Amino acid sequence: NPISLCLVYLLVSRRVSFPIYGVALPAHFILKFDNGEDEIFFDPFHGGKIYSRQTCLNYLEGFDQENSEAVLKGCSNLEIISRTLRNLHLIYNSYNPDEGRLREVEGFLQLAEAFRV
């Protein structure tokens, strides 16, 4: 899945102090290289496809996304965890409505939301 693949990139990049950040687009998760001078958006899940800032803004317009610039700044670790948990909740609810798993994921979601500032 896109988030898991991006997490591998993020963990390796942080280990070697490379400025890579997660970008939580609606319905997709990509990465951004940003060293303060250059900014490159790329998609590990689709073979490292590179996107311009304008392409990302156009994509966000299709979702009627308010505050598009904030989305492109990148997301926190907590936002990545919350997104992953929401995806798990959707999967468990849609494909395998196991009440125990759903309650477990819902509990983790509530915990993650409690830490949101």
Q: What CA–CA distance (Å, rounded) separates 13 from 58? A: 27
CB 101 within 8 A of CB 92: yes
Which is nearest to 6 in space by CA: 96, 92, 111, 84?
Answer: 84
Reported pTM: 0.79
Q: What CA–CA distance (Å, rounded) separates 102 from 104? A: 5
Q: For every one of its 117 residues, what pLDDT tens digit does the chain have, with 9 covering 90 and above?
A: 889 899 999 999 999 999 999 999 999 999 999 999 999 999 999 999 999 999 999 999 888 777 888 899 999 988 898 888 888 777 777 776 667 776 777 776 777 676 654
